[in-house]
Amino acid sequence: MGISIYLSRFLTLFLCLVFPSYLAIRGTDSLSDTALLFSSLSRRAEAVHFALTSPLAPAPAPISTEATGRRRKRYPSFPDALAHSINSFEQYAFLAEKVLQRKHARYAKQTPAQKAISNKIGYSTHFEKSRKAVELNARFVEQIAQIARAHYHTGPGALEDEEDADFGLVDLAFGHLSRDWSTQGAKERQAVFPRVLDGLERHFGGKGRGKKVLVPGSGMGRLASDIADLGYDVTANELDYGSILAYHLLTNHTHSLHQHTLQPFATKWTHQANPSSRYTALTVPDHWPNKSVKLVEGDFLNMFPEDAEFDAVVTLFFIDMSDNVIDFLSNIHRLLKPGGVWINLGPLKWGTHSALQLSAEEVLQLADVLGFDVDQTSRKSIDSLYAEQPETLLKFTYVTQFWSATKRV
C-alpha cells in the first residue's frame, strides 16, 4: 500500500465524522463559511483517492506497514494529528479572520444604497465586534497550543504548513467546551447525564465507590469527571487532540472556576435572534474537572490490551462513531469483567464510512449475539441537543437511545 494507514484513517475520520458533525452543529447554512476548509480537504482527499486507486502508481517497496508508517511520519516523537491540532489552534485567529473577510466581501459587494440601508440597522458594526471576539478567543486557544507544545515537547518550530490548519477543529472544540464545561451547557447535560449516572448507581446498588469505569470517546471529559465525583475509579479515553488539548488546559493549567472566557459564535452569523446573540460569552470551567480521572490518549480499539479490566463501560454519543460497530461492541465486551455493565446513551448517526448502519433494535440484537444480556426494561428514548448555541434559531434534536446491558457470565 502506497498510502499510510494512518493518513487514510485520519482522512476518513475527518471527512466522515468531524466535518458532518461540524455541519450538524453549525447547520448547513454555514457551508459557505467552510468553503475554504472544504476545498483544501477535497484536495487532500483527491490525493489520497489517487494514491489508493491509480493503477500507474509504482509498486511499493516490500517493507512492513509499521516501517512505512514510521518513515512517513513527520515527527518521530508525537502523532501527526497532534501537530495538526496545535497548528489549527495557533492559526485560529488567521482562519477566523478569513471567515470574517468573506462575510465582509459579500457585504461590500452591495450597491452604495444597499450598504447605506444595511448600515442603518447597524450591520457594519458586526465586523469590528466579531474581530474583537476573535481576538479574545485567540488568546484562549493560544494558551491551549502553548501548553500542548510544552507537554509534548514539540519545540518552537512550525509543525505543519499554515494552510493545513483547520478552523472546524477549533470550532468543534468550542462547541464541546460549551456543552461540557459552561453554565450554558448545563441544560444539555441535564437531559442526558443523570440517566447515565443513575444507570451506574442502579447497577452497583449505590456501592460503586472504587469500581473501575471506562469512558471511551470521552470528548472534553465532563461525564468522566462527574462519574469520578461519585467515587468511581475512572479512565477516560479520547483520540481527538482538539478535545484532548483543551482538556489539558482545563485540568492542569486552570486556577479558578470560570477563568477562561470565549465568544464561540462570533463567526457564526446564521440562525441568530438578535444582533448581540453572536457575541454570547461563555466562561469555563463551571465545575472542577476531577483530577483523579486518567486520560488515555489514542484509539479505543488499540489502547487497552488487558481483557476484563473494567467493571463498567459508559458510552455517550459514541458507538455510532465506529468504522464497524461490531469492533466497538466486541471491544466493550472484551474489556468488561463478567457481569460488568455497559451503559449507552446516544444517537445512531452512522457516518458513510460505517460498515454497518444499524437500527437501535439491530444494535441490541448484535449486543446479544456478542454476549451481552440487554436489560430491556432499562431502555429509554431521550431527546437531546448537542453543543448547540443556547439562543440559536436552529435546534437539532437527537432522539438518543439509552440502555444498560451486562456481560453474560
Ligand X SMILES: C[S@@+](CC[C@H](N)C(=O)[O-])C[C@H]1O[C@@H](n2cnc3c(N)ncnc32)[C@H](O)[C@@H]1O
Name the residues that contact ligand X, by CB under 6 A: 216-219, 237-240, 243, 299-301, 316-318, 321
- Per CB under 6 A, which region of 41-49, 69-77, 152-160, 290-298 contacts ligand NAG? 290-298
Residue 231 within binding range of ligand NAG, rule CB under 6 A: yes
233-272 residues in contact with ligand NAG (CB under 6 A) are 247-248, 251-252
Q: Which does 237 bind (CB under 5 to 8 A by kind): ligand X, ligand NAG, none?
A: ligand X
Reduced 3-state DSSP string for the chain: CCCCHHHHHHHHHHHHHHHHHHHHHHCHHHHHHHHHHHHHHHHHHHHHHHHHHCCCCCCCCCCCHHHHHHHHCCCCCCCHHHHHHHHHHHCHHHHHHHHHHHHHHHHHCCCHHHHHHHHHCCCCHHHHHHHHHHHHHHHHHHHHHHHHHHHCCCCCCCCCCHHHCCHHHHHHHHHHHHHHHCHHHHHHHHHHHHHHHHHHHHHCCCCCCCCEEEEECCCCCHHHHHHHHCCCEEEEEECCHHHHHHHHHHHHCCCCCCCEEECCCCCCCCCCCCHHHHHCCEEECCCCCCCCCEEEECCCCCCCCCCCCEEEEEEECCHHHCCCHHHHHHHHHHHEEEEEEEEEEECCCCCCCCCCCCCHHHHHHHHHHHCEEEEEEEEEEEEECCCCCCCCCCCCCEEEEEEEEEECC
Give the alpha-carbon dihedral of 161, 164, 165, 166, to 10 degrees: 180
Q: Which does 238 bind (CB under 5 to 8 A by kind): ligand X, ligand NAG, none?
A: ligand X
Among 11, 93, 165, 295, indicate the residue that binds ligand NAG (CB under 6 A): 295
How far apart are the C-alpha atoms of 51 and 337, rounded to whole Å? 43
Q: Which does 182 bind (CB under 5 to 8 A by kind): ligand X, ligand NAG, none?
A: none
Q: Which does 81 bind (CB under 5 to 8 A by kind): ligand NAG, ligand X, none?
A: none
Q: Is 133 or 317 the residue whose CB approaches ligand X more closely?
A: 317
Question: What minimum distance in Å lies between the beta carbon of 236 and ligand X?
Answer: 9
Give backbone dihedrals phi and psi of 264, rounded to 5 degrees, phi first. -70, -15
Residue 85 within binding range of ligand NAG, rule CB under 6 A: no
Q: Which does 318 bind (CB under 5 to 8 A by kind): ligand X, ligand NAG, none?
A: ligand X
Q: Is 37 or 81 the residue whose CB approaches ligand NAG more closely?
A: 81
Question: What minimum distance in Å lies between the beta carbon of 239 and ligand X?
Answer: 4
Q: Is 24 or 51 the residue whose CB approaches ligand X more closely?
A: 24
Q: Which does 300 bind (CB under 5 to 8 A by kind): ligand NAG, ligand X, none?
A: ligand X
Question: What minimum distance in Å lies between the beta carbon of 292 and ligand NAG?
Answer: 4
Q: Which does 321 bind (CB under 5 to 8 A by kind): ligand X, ligand NAG, none?
A: ligand X
Residue 290 within binding range of ligand NAG, rule CB under 6 A: yes
- Per CB under 6 A, which region of 89-97, 153-161, 288-296, 360-368 contacts ligand NAG? 288-296
Q: Which does 286 bind (CB under 5 to 8 A by kind): ligand X, ligand NAG, none?
A: none
How far apart are the C-alpha atoms of 163 and 37, rounded to whole Å? 9
Among 228, 262, 282, 313, indicate the residue that binds ligand NAG (CB under 6 A): 228
Residue 144 within binding range of ligand NAG, rule CB under 6 A: no
Question: What minimum distance in Å lies between the beta carbon of 342 and ligand X?
Answer: 14
Residues that bind ligand NAG in the complex, under the rule CB under 6 A: 228-229, 231-232, 247-248, 251-252, 290, 292, 295
